[in-house]
Amino acid sequence: MKAKLLIEQPYFGTVAAMQEPKLNEDIQICLSTPTHFEYNDDYLEYISDDELAFLLTNSAMHQALGYHKRKEGRLDWMWALAQDYAINSLLVNNGLSMPSGVNYDDIYDGMSAEAIYNLLELDSEADKHTPKDTNHIKHEKMDEVDLPDENPIDMVHDQTIQKLKQQGDLPLGIEIIVPKIFEGKISWRDELFTILENSFKFDYRLSPPNKRYLAQGVALPSLSGEIMRLVVAIDSSGSIDDKLLGEFLGEIESIMNSFENFEIDLLIADAKVHEHHVLYPGDEIDYKIKGGGGTRFDTTFRYIYENINSPKLILYFTDGFGTFGENEPDSDLVWILSKDGNHNIPFGRVIHL
């Protein structure tokens, strides 16, 4: 089972292989401690090998990510719940088979445990997250264990991250929950282009070369394949100055110059959608941006739902301050936020300029 995971998911397989199992017949299912994955063997008979791989990986990541060092005064049970949501979201989004009954909610996709904790803390329905109702999350009651500053699991995990990063085998979204490894090492542009390439099926070919790098005197393969159809929304509200608007437009041009086949629905919006342009290869962006009012993201999402047929991906360039509404779009959503943008985005994946 671990060998299969190592082949199909190198990162998760390596993490799971570090996990030390320990039989514990006093528990009903399983639990993660700072040193072991404890389990009841009767429970393991009812789940598949793939589901067991999910649980082993979850448990190992609680250890490898150093969450015990990142607690910083947070409530034990809520911090453990936030960790579980973050880890399980990552595993599900990378295709691992989730057993029933684990803590997972897609509203936390693309969020760190710290961000999820903040939302849980602010949740007006906090009663549903009380320790009484989360007794099945055994690791929220971990015994205090003195671990050395240089935990061997931490060291192996860091080495694995760096190795697989060089090989291009890291899982999608791992940078969200491993900030210490990726801080200052992955540019937001590389992250954005990785998302685009993972969202659409592309082939690489040298003729014609990638126009993105020609100005630097470098001929790299260009991307071709299925037509990339996506929605790009630009926040033109009063909080977005001309310099930031220029950066937004420049990045859209970079996308257009890097992909051979695309159809982009470009929306200019603040409290309402002012302009809707459809861009194809060879087009230029030369628009006078209208706006200057408040920001209503929900209005933009409603416009997309009513006027654009099932886009696969939405990129929203904004500072993140505005009205979100209760209904998130059905399409995958990535917020490209200005450097000082809002850090409390309720849904979607976030990239900071």
Task: Kindly report, residue by residue over 20-64, the tens digit of the pLDDT.
Answer: 888 998 888 888 776 788 888 888 888 998 999 899 889 888 877
User: Are residue 23 and residue 156 in the same domain, yes or no?
Assistant: yes
Residue 46 C-alpha from the chain's centroid:
31
Q: What does the block give as tokens for 249?
A: 């437009």
User: Are residue 162 and residue 289 in the same domain, yes or no?
Assistant: no
User: Are residue 87 and residue 221 in the same domain, yes or no?
Assistant: no
- Whole-number Cα distances in Å, 253 to 160, 233, 266, 279: 35, 13, 11, 10
User: Are residue 137 and residue 212 in the same domain, yes or no?
Assistant: no
Q: Could you tell me the pLDDT band of residue 224, with boundaries at 50, 70 and 90? A: low
Q: What does DSSP assign to residue 142?
A: P
Mean pLDDT over 166-171 rounds to 68
User: Are residue 264 and residue 220 in the same domain, yes or no?
Assistant: yes
Mean pLDDT over 319-328 rounds to 91
Final residue in a domain of this structure, among 144, 159, 181: 181
User: Are residue 289 and residue 332 in the same domain, yes or no?
Assistant: yes
User: Are residue 202 and residue 243 in the same domain, yes or no?
Assistant: yes
Give the separation between CA 140 and CA 78, rounded to whole angstroms: 8
pLDDT at 338: 86
User: Are residue 177 and residue 236 in the same domain, yes or no?
Assistant: no
User: Are residue 10 and residue 68 in the same domain, yes or no?
Assistant: yes
pLDDT at 156: 65
Q: What's the chain's average pLDDT?
A: 77
Domain with 29 in it: 2-181
What would the DSSP string read from start to end of 206-246? SSS--HHHHTTT---PEEEES-EEEEEEEE-STTS-HHHHH
Closest CA to 98 of 115, 79, 84, 116: 84
Amino acid at 72: E
User: Are residue 211 and residue 304 in the same domain, yes or no?
Assistant: yes
User: Are residue 13 and residue 85 in the same domain, yes or no?
Assistant: yes
Instruction: Say how many domains are in the chain.
Output: 2
How long a stretch of residues is the chain?
353
| CATH code for the domain in which residue 244 is found | 3.40.50
Residue 335 phi, psi dihedral angles, 5° rounding? -95, 125
What residues have CB less than 8 Å from 170, skipping those under 6 apart?
A: 11, 161, 164
Final residue in a domain of this structure, among 181, 196, 226: 181
Q: Which helix (DSSP H) or strand (DSSP E) does residue 177 occupy?
A: helix 174-177
Final residue in a domain of this structure, among 154, 181, 208: 181
Beta strands in the chain (DSSP E): 21-23, 30-32, 37-39, 202-205, 222-225, 228-235, 262-269, 273-279, 313-318, 332-337, 349-352
Task: Kindly report, residue by residue over 248-270, the tens digit of the pLDDT.
Answer: 888 888 888 777 788 999 999 99
Whether the Cβ atoms of residue 1 and residue 8 lie closer than 8 Å to each other: no
